[in-house]
Structure 1
Amino acid sequence: MKYLIGTRGSQLSISQTNWVVSELKKKNPDSDYEIKTITTKGDTDARPLFTINQKGIFEKEIDKAVAEKQVDFAVHSLKDVPSILPDDLILGCVPPREPFNDIFISKNGDTLDTIKKGALIGTSSLRRAVQVSRKRPDLQVKTIRGNVETRINKVQDGIFDGIVLAQAGINRLGVNVKHTPLPIVDFPPSPGQGALGIVCRKNDTQTISMLQKIQDNNSRIAVESERALSEFVDSGCRFPVGAFAQINDDILDLTVIAYSIDGKQALVVKKSGNKSNPYQIGKEAAEELQRKGVNDLAKDWRAKLDEWNK
Structure 2
Amino acid sequence: MTRKLRIATRGSALALAQTGMIAAELTRLTGVEVTITVVTTEGDTSRASLASIGGTGVFASALRASLDEGGCDLVVHSLKDLPTAAYPGLVLGAVPLREDPRDALCSRDGLTLDDLPQGSRIGTGSPRRVAQLLSLRPDLRVIDIRGNVDTRLAKVSSGELDAVVLAAAGLTRLGRLDAVSEFFDLSVWPTAPGQGALAIEAREEDSIPELIEIQHDGTRIGIGAERAVLAALEAGCSAPIGASSTFVGDTLTLSAVVYSADGSAELGSTRSVTLESPGDLAAAEAAAIALGSAIAAQLLSDGAGELAELGAGIR
* Contact 1:127/1:239 (8 A) holds in 2: yes
Residue of 13, 16, 29 corresponding to 1:14: 16
* Structure 1 position 115, deviation (Å): 0.8
* Contact 2:9/2:63 (8 A) holds in 1: yes
Partners of 1:189 and 1:300 in 2: how far apart?
20
The residue identity in structure 2 corresponding to 1:264 is S
Deviations for 1:65-86, whole angstroms, at most 9, x for unmatched residues? 1111110010010000111221
Tell me if 1:220 matches 2:230. no
* Contact 1:267/1:294 (8 A) holds in 2: yes
Residue in 2 aligned with 1:143?
Answer: 144
Query: Any idea what SS the aligned residue of 1:134 has?
Result: helix
* Structure 1 position 237, deviation (Å): 5.0
Partners of 2:199 and 2:186 in 1: how far apart?
22
Partners of 1:39 and 1:75 in 2: how far apart?
13
Deviations for 1:45-97, whole angstroms, at most 9, x for unmatched residues? 11111111252100100011111111001001000011122120011110000
* Contact 1:75/1:196 (8 A) holds in 2: yes
Q: Does the C-alpha gap of structure 1 residues 236 and 165 become closer, same or farther in structure 2, counting only changes over 3 Å? A: farther
Partners of 2:101 and 2:191 in 1: how far apart?
7
- TM-score normalised by length of structure 2: 0.93
Residue in 2 aligned with 1:261?
Answer: 261
* Structure 1 position 183, deviation (Å): 1.6
Tell me if 1:126 matches 2:127. yes
* Structure 1 position 234, deviation (Å): 3.9
* Contact 2:6/2:34 (8 A) holds in 1: yes
Give the 5 Å matches for 1:73-222.
Answer: 73-175=74-176, 176-205=178-207, 207=208, 209-222=209-222
Identity %: 37
**Range that drifts further, 154-163 or 292-301:** 292-301
Residue in 1 aligned with 2:274?
Answer: 274
* Structure 1 position 300, deviation (Å): 4.0
Query: Any idea what SS the aligned residue of 2:92 has?
Result: strand
* Contact 1:7/1:76 (8 A) holds in 2: yes
Partners of 2:55 and 2:113 in 1: how far apart?
31
Q: Does the C-alpha gap of structure 1 residues 133 and 58 become closer, same or farther in structure 2, counting only changes over 3 Å? A: same
* Contact 1:257/1:266 (8 A) holds in 2: yes
Tell me if 1:292 matches 2:293. no
Partners of 1:158 and 1:177 in 2: how far apart?
14
Q: Does the C-alpha gap of structure 1 residues 236 and 174 become closer, same or farther in structure 2, counting only changes over 3 Å? A: farther
* Contact 2:104/2:180 (8 A) holds in 1: no
* Structure 1 position 218, deviation (Å): 0.3
**Range that drifts further, 181-190 or 8-17:** 181-190
Which 5+ residue runs of structure 1 have no aligned equivalent? none
The residue identity in structure 2 corresponding to 1:280 is A
* Structure 1 position 236, deviation (Å): 4.6
Q: Does the C-alpha gap of structure 1 residues 112 and 96 become closer, same or farther in structure 2, counting only changes over 3 Å? A: same
Give the 5 Å matches for 1:30-109.
Answer: 31-53=32-54, 55-109=56-110
Partners of 1:179 and 1:170 in 2: how far apart?
12
Partners of 1:274 and 1:124 in 2: how far apart?
36
* Contact 1:101/1:184 (8 A) holds in 2: yes
The alignment's C-alpha RMSD in Å is 1.3
The residue identity in structure 2 corresponding to 1:287 is A
Query: Any idea what SS the aligned residue of 1:141 has?
Result: strand
